[in-house]
Amino acid sequence: MAKVSMKHIEIIALLTDGKSVVELLQRRGIVDLTQYENTEQQKGIDTFDTSQSIQLFERNSTTVQQSLAILDEYAPEKKSLLTSFEPRTPISTQEFEELAEKADQIIHNAYELQRIHQKISENRANLKARIQYAESLESWRTLEVATKFKGTALTTAFIGTLPGEWDREQLLESLKPDPNTDIPAEVEIVFSFREQSGIFILCHQDYKQLCTQALRKIGFAQPLILTDKPPSDLIEEYRRTADELEKEIKRLTSHIQNRADMRRQLLFALDYLSMRADKYRALQDIAITRQTMIIKGYIPAESADPLAQELNEKYILNVTVTEPDEEDDPPVAFKNSMPAAALEDITSSYNMPSKTDVDPNPVMSFFYYLFFGLMLSDAGYGVLMALACGLILKFKKPEGNMKRNMQKFMLCGLSTVFWGSLFGSWFGSFVLKVGLFGQEISLSPLWFDPVADPMKLLILSFVLGFVQIVVGLGVKFYMLWSNGDRLGAIFDIGFWWVVFAGIVMVLASSMVSVPSLDTVGVVVAVTGAAGLLLTQGRSSPSIPGKILGGLGSLYGITGYFSDILSYCRLMALGLVTGIIGTVVNTIGSMGGKGITGIPLFIIVFIAGHAINLSINALGAYVHCNRLQYVEFFSKFYEGGGRLYSPLKVNTKHYKFKEENTNV
Amino acid sequence: MFNQMGILLAIAGAVLAALLACIGSAKGVGMVSEASAAVVIEDPSKFAKLLILQLLPGTQGLYGFVVAVMILNGIGILGTAQDVSFTQGVGYLVASLPVAIGGWISAVAQARVAVTGVSIVSKSPNQSSKAIISATLVEFYALLSFIISFLMVMNINKI
């Protein structure tokens, strides 16, 4: 049960060793750097400006990410669902150095990949345009001249479209200025559809005027595409270039596909770049003079000496390790052993403890697992959860947060098995329903069946809630007491305990027959209340203030009351799981024992319980967190600390061995 | 005549519990999912975190469903046949109201909180637990409605 005790560390090193020292710190991953602030405007002290380098790393990193996405598009990698549980791939020093040397080349390749991808997109767009163009020219294919053709020295050509369907006779008729005059012209219908027809007319120049007039009347329009060459030639040309484009696209695509082996290198580059960006960001925190640099930060007390020793051995520098001052704000890290360790991120996602807080994880862990199990409350589901998490832990060996989560849910699963067997719920009432297939086994509840006696479960929930709140106050008592505020501990917490004890006696008097227990209870509760009334206004300077403060604090009883009521969610969620599980089994067994009945049962059973498990596990998780955050933490936990986040090698894909350098 | 009225009223209660609570949940889950979809387009990796928010207003429908099943069980439509008096029928109908209406309204209210939670997740994914906890504050009232309906339905056959 502890927060890690932090020491302040100051390293003064030669500027020439600068990068190398920071690198060593990054590799060790234990120093949380403090940003240097030149508040006193001391002359001669400066900081590194590495923002440009950082920007470059980030830009490169984006490109690498994009090229990975491109690789995934052209040469997708087969991934199983379980991949996300796997740990990072370890990489040897030698491999690291080889790859690091090639880093520039890899990034260059990433850009290259992007260019090829762009080229492919361009070609695709081109190809599409060409195909469309060729298609729209298709109807003009039989025209033997270019659609731009205007005629020869002595003739005029009209090439264009008319609305609607036309044949040659109709057109000739329409060209006549009056019914008896023919216009001598070569007339051709190039195509004729219901919406539109394409026509070609060649007449002597002398008739140009007449023709134009006649055509205007019937809605003649220029063709949409004006070409220099006969359409059939052009179509051929487009087809040819389209074929070429297609070949080019294929060639480029297979080029990318052949580079699928780059994925490994790109992932490495991603890690490498993020490492360097982290380092350069750290460099910005460091104060420098002309010859030296000053690194300040916090380090866990136990690692301070070994690090100082190592630094002194390797470099010429001065390391000072001191206790943090009162006004310092050292970062907070937890150090717990297993059951509590898995819950650290639940606490830290609420708030890190402040300097005065104790580490709440160990106390919380007991209630956390207990409540989760009570809310999920089905032994079958518990077995599944514990088994799944256990197998992943064993075979996939996840690391970091994933490992913690798996451990957490495995323990939650075990607690669920515990409660489920107390309540006799195994996949709802599945075991009873197995009777359908011949053998009648029933696992009766080891304690009681909550559906038959929900009040008992409700009272159990309130009792557990009451216990957690009293324990929460106990932690507060401990905090006040160990900080020297012993009177405060007795006044603020002790008197409440007295009040609670009285109330419990009154409540218990209806269940056990101890003579005049209720009277004693009332006396005890009133004594506690009187104590609160007298002491809670003590910080107020005036007498009326003291009285009001005392009265106000008694009002706090409603707060405790509603906090305890809040634990009825334990009962509600616990009931829901079992009932829905049973309903799933009932629906499943509706088909009877026949040839349709059994497959129906299997399908309904699997789907129904999968949904029930996922929804109720989510509910249990969320409400379990809430009970800790709102009901439990509010009793003693202040929060507001800063999470310990040392400069370290923060990679996603590869795990680097210690000795690696990243200049 | 009155005996048949009893069972009809009880069925009406089961209908209300399942119907209204499920309407609320459907609305709620729909609202949050729409908001989440917009975030997932930008960043598919946030899907898992958003899924929790999407599912939160879904529990009310579940509570309504459970109460409906308990009513059907109590009046013998599921399980062994029972005689349902007129008084009991009215009892079932009234007992379904907390989870029906409480579930409906709390699902929508919770969905509103969750929708704002979606924007929290989209901007700072690390804070997602705060968004989730805020949404569960509303959930508590659905739980209270459920518990009351449940306790009543369980005990109505005693009257």
DSSP state of A185: E
Residue B114 to residue B97: CA distance in whole angstroms: 25
Q: How far is B132 from chain A (nearest CA, A)?
A: 7
Q: What is the pLDDT of residues A459-518, one digit of tens each?
A: 999 999 999 999 999 999 999 998 888 888 998 899 999 999 999 988 888 877 778 888
Q: How confident is the model at residue A389 (pLDDT cuts 50, 70, 90)?
A: very high
Per DSSP (E only), the strands in A74-223 are 89-91, 155-163, 185-192, 196-204
**Identity at A64, one-letter amino acid code:** V
Q: What is the pLDDT of residues A344-375, one digit of tens each?
A: 888 888 888 888 888 999 999 999 999 999 99
Q: How far is A657 from chain B (nearest CA, A)?
A: 29
pTM of the model: 0.80
Backbone φ/ψ region at A151: left (φ over 0), alpha (ψ -120 to 50), beta: left
- Name the percent of chain B lying above pLDDT 90: 47
Closest CA to A300 of A650, A9, A11, A647: A9
Q: What is the pLDDT of residues B73-96, one digit of tens each?
A: 888 887 677 788 888 999 999 999
Average pLDDT over residues A62-75: 88
Q: For strand A89-91 and strand A654-656, is the pairing parallel, antiparallel, or unpaired?
A: parallel
Asked if pLDDT for residue A252 goes beyond 70, the answer is: yes
Q: How many CA atoms lie less than 13 Å away from B54 in the CB half-sphere? A: 15
**CB A226 within 8 Å of CB A148:** yes
A454 touches chain B (CB under 8 A): yes
Q: Do A571 and B147 touch (CB under 8 A)?
A: yes
Whole-number pLDDT of residue B6: 87
Domains defined for chain A, CATH in brackets? 148-224 (3.30.70.2750), 338-636 (no CATH)
The total number of residues shown for chain A amounts to 663
| More reliable by pLDDT, B115 or A291 | B115
A416 touches chain B (CB under 8 A): no
Indicate the residue of B62, B78, B151 with minimum beta-carbon distance to A576: B62
Q: Do A629 and B133 touch (CB under 8 A)?
A: yes
> Which pair of tokens denotes residue A244?
């070429």
Q: Scan residues 77-116 of B and list those with Cβ closer than 8 Å to A.
A: 78
Looking at 3.40.50.720, 1.10.10.10, 1.10.287.610, 1.20.120.610, the CATH number of the domain B2-158 comes to 1.20.120.610
Residue A461 to residue A452: CA distance in whole angstroms: 16
| More reliable by pLDDT, A591 or A204 | A204
Q: How confident is the model at residue A384 (pLDDT cuts 50, 70, 90)?
A: very high
Indicate the residue of A349, A572, A615 with minimum beta-carbon distance to B146: A572
Optimal mutation site among A622, A632, A642, interface B, most CBs of chain B within 10 A:
A622
Domain boundaries, chain B: 2-158
Indicate the residue of B66, B126, B136 with minimum beta-carbon distance to A622: B136
What is the number of other CB atoms lying within 10 angstroms of the CB of residue A555? 8
A279 touches chain B (CB under 8 A): no
Q: Do B52 and A566 touch (CB under 8 A)?
A: no
Asked which of A122-131, A203-212, A389-398, A475-484 is least confident by mean pLDDT, the reply is A203-212
Q: Do B55 and A615 touch (CB under 8 A)?
A: yes
Closest chain B residue to A570 measured between Cα atoms?
B143
Asked if pLDDT for residue A42 goes beyond 80, the answer is: no
Asked if pLDDT for residue A247 goes beyond 50, the answer is: yes
Average pLDDT over residues A428-444: 59
Optimal mutation site among A405, A455, A575, A624, interface B, most CBs of chain B within 10 A:
A575
Listed in sequence order, the residues at least 6 apart from B131 whose beta carbon sits closer than 8 Å to its beta carbon are: B53, B114, B116, B117, B118, B120, B121
Whole-number pLDDT of residue A165: 87
Asked if pLDDT for residue A662 goes beyond 60, the answer is: no
| More reliable by pLDDT, B128 or A563 | A563
The complex's ipTM works out to 0.78
DSSP state of A191: E
**Which residues of chain A are within 8 Å of residue B62 when distances are taken between CB atoms?**
576, 580, 615
